[in-house]
Structure 1
């Protein structure tokens, strides 16, 4: 079995992956607090990317398009504890604790690697994953409260970030698409994250680009891949994932159909 996941609750899990690598593109509904035990993960968002390894602790913001590429490292599987800081839980927490500072969206990943308080909190969860239904029903809530309290203690901007419960508003469509076209998301997701219905998204897109979203996305991704291979001399196998294609064979076919030659033809030129 390549994947194994154990739960303390629906919002606290221990995941282990023993295969070669896997890639997913997601928009997390909740903030995700991650403690990395072993393996390696590359996380790519519109404005930055990070590589995380054993011991790293970080917070991924909700409602941000994120590419996650994970693999084993140093002979050990990809293994991590993830805690969902749900809107419901955060609203409950801040009904009991006054938020300090102005609320604002959490735009980028926050890194707390090797912080002793957070590491102790996350490591204390490990013994509970094998107990299953024998756990006290309120344990998960207590541990999430503990994690939120530690985040507030070590970062005085956390209240302003975690206490923001706004949903995506209507954004500048052109700016958003130019920054996020390389993420392989559905049009439903693109429309939601720009604050539009799918019908309004299609209509606004047509006004700006005078083409369909599908055609525009494919051409933008292929041109980015062409640049990465020709100018940066990166291998097609390393490029297709980061430019929004699901697999290498589909990427190679689309590339040759669009440019008239296969991606490998650019290497060494």
Structure 2
């Protein structure tokens, strides 16, 4: 995979993928504002799927699980400007403001497709990626400008950006049944359910009577079987949708559980 990234600061980057596609299951530990210059991205969450392309602008709230698949398109690489809205930056921004957010369990992705104010703000960053000596306060000014525009465009954005709470302990069974297809370290699942790794493993075995690794593989293969037989999807598509990292591992595990290779269905 040929990946390139240029930074103004660690919170603002120009990202480019030249390969056929790039896929990853991730947890967003910071809010991310993304502007598409070229290419296409498919974002799959537990209860929603999004497709973004050239010109689109969107905000992904933190502590969200998603499968990200990036594609070049129309002969152009997958290229985006990405702005991280860190907790430290947001604490400074909201200091002194009378905001009392009512946290939502699972905030959705905010879409601001082709909005001129946001596009102008993000487009003004492009020249800085080619500069060696960048004024120290430029990044801070641009991030503050972006947050201010977001608040103007959507009055509900404060409920997300001004919420600095960490995930609390939640129902483990409900959460895992909803998010098992995301291939993340167990530590991340523990964090998102409000548990240490040790407590997560203990509570998991008590709830499901088996180890997390075994249960996750079983659930992903069950979903794969359904998608292959009922939804008529192709094995390669199913492989990534249900949380496997490569087709050979998926095919091996599938045949071991069902006695047939995915292609034979």
TM-score with structure 1 setting the length = 0.96
Residue segments in structure 2 that go unaligned for 5+ positions in a row:
none
Deviation of 1:175 after TM superposition, in Å, equals 0.5
Moved more, 17-26 or 1-10: 1-10
Post-superposition Cα deviations, 1:1-24, rounded to whole Å, max 9, x if no partner, equal: 821111110000001111100101
CA–CA distance in structure 2, aligned partners of residues 6 and 32 of structure 1:
16
Post-superposition Cα deviations, 1:195-254, rounded to whole Å, max 9, x if no partner, equal: 001111111111111111111100000010000011111110111011010100000000
Structure 2 match to 1:154: 153
Matches within 5 A, 1:17-56: 17-56=17-56
Structure 2 match to 1:225: 224
Structure 1 match to 2:117: 117
Residue segments in structure 1 that go unaligned for 5+ positions in a row:
none
Give the RMSD, CA atoms, in angstroms.
1.1
Deviation of 1:189 after TM superposition, in Å, equals 0.8
Moved more, 90-99 or 143-152: 90-99
Deviation of 1:96 after TM superposition, in Å, equals 4.8
CA–CA distance in structure 2, aligned partners of residues 126 and 79 of structure 1:
12
Moved more, 101-110 or 58-67: 101-110
TM-score with structure 2 setting the length = 0.97
Task: Give the conservation status (yes or no) of the 8 Å contact 1:103–1:163.
Answer: no
Query: Following TM superposition, where does structure 1 have runs of at least 4 consecutive aligned residues deviating by more than 6 angstroms?
Result: none
1:141 and 2:140 are equivalent in the alignment: yes
Structure 1 match to 2:194: 195
1:107 and 2:107 are equivalent in the alignment: yes
Q: What is the aligned residue count? A: 264
Post-superposition Cα deviations, 1:36-74, rounded to whole Å, max 9, x if no partner, equal: 110000011111110100000000111111111001011
CA–CA distance in structure 1, aligned partners of residues 135 and 96 of structure 2:
22
